[in-house]
Structure 1
């Protein structure tokens, strides 16, 4: 019996899953830089199981969907995002079946369920994919799916809000394209509220289009309930409606943050308090704090030393951060920021870290108790063997704890949008991606863009390197 228990312990230690997130970015970032989107897609396909695996199936399809979108292969992007949507919906409706395994090992053993902003971003990309292939009905379906997901995710608790102004605004544009003015007005109003509650300041151009649309629909009174000051004039939005055509430029700037590990250590007294110390990754300062420690069965009044890692945002160098758009050589505009993924991640981690910290610390204490019991149950009487075995158990159980660093790898750091009223016909659009100091880091020449009468033509510029 002792041999069986010992074998089980050693098997658990040996089977502790390697953290695929630790190598995914290091493997794919150089490929993206040297070989572009299609080269990165090819690399992922070759090493899919090693880089992602079954538990990160959502992220595999999410990342592939983004890369195909950037490469302009919208049909392939649609297929991957459909798979990601299905995985998300299946996990959302099912109970967590892997909690028992997660208690023994770590959060990486659970299927990745997607962060709220990743879910909403998935719908944004899918809507744009359908618009790119001229399938307005498909885009409308995704808009309605996005609304359902947004309502399910939405929560407002002090600073905790899950909504997305850009997704609401994009939905309004799609409704306008379909001639559904009432739905467009509702979506515009929700966009305004989402921007006011969210982490991106209301863009001036967005507010102008919202004001114009609600005023035209005799819903100007709705504007009075918002925090943003109503506009007396809406020249650009009015021109767009009068002309009937516009070019909408969507620019993806920079590369969103990834996750690293922040190590915490301290003491845990079951049902009393947990005192933890950590080093701030930005300032290098050592910080200490105390939180409530939930009771753990078998812990009694003992004091336990705990050490574990939590996800920590790791910012990446940003080559592009803004855009300049020139239309037909005589009209220059600057797209405004409508989404900030860096801030989305920071808020999401702030919302979740307290729960993750308590869950992780509780797991460490449970494993510590189990390890002590296992060492006693497997004593052989051989001093040297038992010493080696006990050290192996202690080291192994401590190494089981790995922070869950999973996150979408190819999100932009920010999304920038502008709407440009134009006459029907062919147009030349030049987009310059610029760094933080205004230096040009990339040029995108889009020649002979044909805009038909009454059409809203979307142009996507992926400067995420």
Structure 2
């Protein structure tokens, strides 16, 4: 039993050890918070996550807290929580050498599970953090702060692409039958999404903010990047036609022939743009593989996405002179699946090391019991029980993100309108001549919350 006690003491002694996620899955921890978001009092569950920001998984809880505050309309609080998450990312970036705590966490993960390792966030989460922070600044009236964040989001998309290309050689080197089969299955689940860091919703949002804040050339570049990822979105096509003509781009004629003439703003009209977010990104599941090594039972647990929920329906926007139908710009659930696929090879390497280490520990305990001539091998039994209980897949991810993002755009006669989505939730918006009204609708299932700003 000595080895078992040492292992437990190692975990508990780690500074900020993520004890909550070691034996209790992260989705079960965040479930009450999501339920609260989908109620009349969305901010009531924020304490559940904000109290844990100073722990090893603080970066993740800061992202969740920022999103809860944002959905609740408290953009100031959301900004502060997201800044805490940004500091968490920067701390990991700045670690030129591995700290003693990180060494201990990685070592104990070999004997326990990957949840011991401090959460570092997936690339798509970090990009969306800056995208959402830009919206916080915009809806708080700070356009310059919004521009800073959109530039950071763009830089991160480029950095993540470079990082992924460098990592591909390692992925190929570690490939084997099990890895290839699971990666192919996740490919099928993710659909057409091929990388987790190329997010058309982020590119569209950054392009939109560039355009609204007077930087049309940068807007055109980001709209074009978004259209390369989501080529069938007609609103993106119209944006490219309109901006290419406005900027006298050489592609203007090609775009117009391909997609037709873009709608033109009439006299006395303003523009309304909808960002519609629907549902929640799915949770990771776990699957276990029991087997025997040297007569002792071992269990391997891995995170996966075994299935995807039905795609969100296109939002039907009513209350305007003409009905408007939103179109999907990004499936965040597919980005999450792809991120897991990209991480899979390294996760399997850690899993193999953990299975071997646990088998060695069990064998050592069993040998000690035999040396003492025990009739009942209580130490080996306890070791096997501990191995089964402690083998928990790492199911951590930012779970208050939407499942899907949609966009819609139209020129409308100036006036006040009572707009709604799918004949359910409604809100009043004001359209002014020559101005743009941006409407951000967040649909969590039972509730749809609207936030609008005139620019």
- The match for 1:393 is 383
Map 1:154-169 to 2 at 5 A: 154=161, 155=164, 159-160=194-195, 162-169=197-204
Return the alpha-carbon distance in structure 2 between the equivalents of residues 176 and 310 of structure 1: 44
Matched, 1:37 2:62: no
Matched, 1:107 2:85: no
Residue in structure 2 matching 1:347, options 317, 338, 362: 338
Q: Are the structure 2 counterparts of residues 319 and 178 from structure 1 closer, same or farther at C-alpha, using a change threshold of 3 Å?
A: closer
Does the aligned pair in 1 maintain the 2:196–2:339 contact within 8 Å?
A: no
SS at match of 2:120: coil
Q: Are the structure 2 counterparts of residues 315 and 129 from structure 1 closer, same or farther at C-alpha, using a change threshold of 3 Å?
A: farther
Count of aligned pairs between the two proteins: 404
In structure 1, stretches of 5+ residues that fail to align are 197-201, 269-301, 434-439
Return the alpha-carbon distance in structure 2 between the equivalents of residues 243 and 168 of structure 1: 30
Does the aligned pair in 2 maintain the 1:335–1:417 contact within 8 Å?
A: yes
Return the alpha-carbon distance in structure 2 between the equivalents of residues 181 and 92 of structure 1: 32
SS at match of 1:234: coil
Q: Are the structure 2 counterparts of residues 366 and 319 from structure 1 closer, same or farther at C-alpha, using a change threshold of 3 Å?
A: closer
SS at match of 1:406: coil
Shift of 1:371: 3.3
SS at match of 2:323: strand
- The match for 2:67 is 66
Matched, 1:187 2:222: yes
Matched, 1:358 2:349: yes
Map 1:46-445 to 2 at 5 A: 48-49=51-52, 54-94=55-95, 97=102, 98-154=105-161, 155=164, 159-160=194-195, 162-195=197-230, 202-221=232-251, 231=258, 233-236=260-263, 238-239=264-265, 245-265=270-290, 307-313=299-305, 321-328=313-320, 330-376=321-367, 381=372, 383-384=374-375, 387-424=377-414, 426-433=415-422, 440=423, 443-445=424-426
Shift of 1:139: 0.7
- The match for 1:446 is 427
Return the alpha-carbon distance in structure 2 between the equivalents of residues 239 and 8 of structure 1: 71
Does the aligned pair in 2 maintain the 1:164–1:195 contact within 8 Å?
A: no
Q: Are the structure 2 counterparts of residues 22 and 423 from structure 1 closer, same or farther at C-alpha, using a change threshold of 3 Å?
A: closer
Shift of 1:403: 0.4
Shifted more, 184-193 versus 35-44: the winner is 35-44
Q: Are the structure 2 counterparts of residues 243 and 341 from structure 1 closer, same or farther at C-alpha, using a change threshold of 3 Å?
A: farther
Return the alpha-carbon distance in structure 2 between the equivalents of residues 223 and 313 of structure 1: 44
Return the alpha-carbon distance in structure 2 between the equivalents of residues 216 and 319 of structure 1: 35
Return the alpha-carbon distance in structure 1 between the equivalents of residues 90 and 134 of structure 2: 18
SS at match of 1:308: strand
Return the alpha-carbon distance in structure 2 between the equivalents of residues 404 and 6 of structure 1: 21
Q: Are the structure 2 counterparts of residues 421 and 410 from structure 1 closer, same or farther at C-alpha, using a change threshold of 3 Å?
A: same
Normalised to the residue count of structure 2, the TM-score between the two structures is 0.78
Q: Please list the CA deviations of residues 182-226 of structure 1 after superposition, one character each: whole Å capped at 9, or x if unmatched.
A: 222222222223335xxxxx31111111232123323333996xx
More helix per residue: 2
RMSD of aligned alpha carbons = 3.4
SS at match of 2:251: helix
Return the alpha-carbon distance in structure 2 between the equivalents of residues 417 and 71 of structure 1: 21
Does the aligned pair in 2 maintain the 1:209–1:234 contact within 8 Å?
A: no
SS at match of 2:230: helix
Return the alpha-carbon distance in structure 2 between the equivalents of residues 428 and 349 of structure 1: 43
Return the alpha-carbon distance in structure 2 between the equivalents of residues 131 and 243 of structure 1: 25
Normalised to the residue count of structure 1, the TM-score between the two structures is 0.76
SS at match of 2:258: coil
Q: Are the structure 2 counterparts of residues 180 and 262 from structure 1 closer, same or farther at C-alpha, using a change threshold of 3 Å?
A: same
Shift of 1:248: 1.2
More strand per residue: 1
Q: Please list the CA deviations of residues 38-85 of structure 1 after superposition, one character each: whole Å capped at 9, or x if unmatched.
A: 22325545xx44xx7712212211112112111111111111111112
Q: Are the structure 2 counterparts of residues 69 and 316 from structure 1 closer, same or farther at C-alpha, using a change threshold of 3 Å?
A: farther
Does the aligned pair in 1 maintain the 2:331–2:405 contact within 8 Å?
A: yes
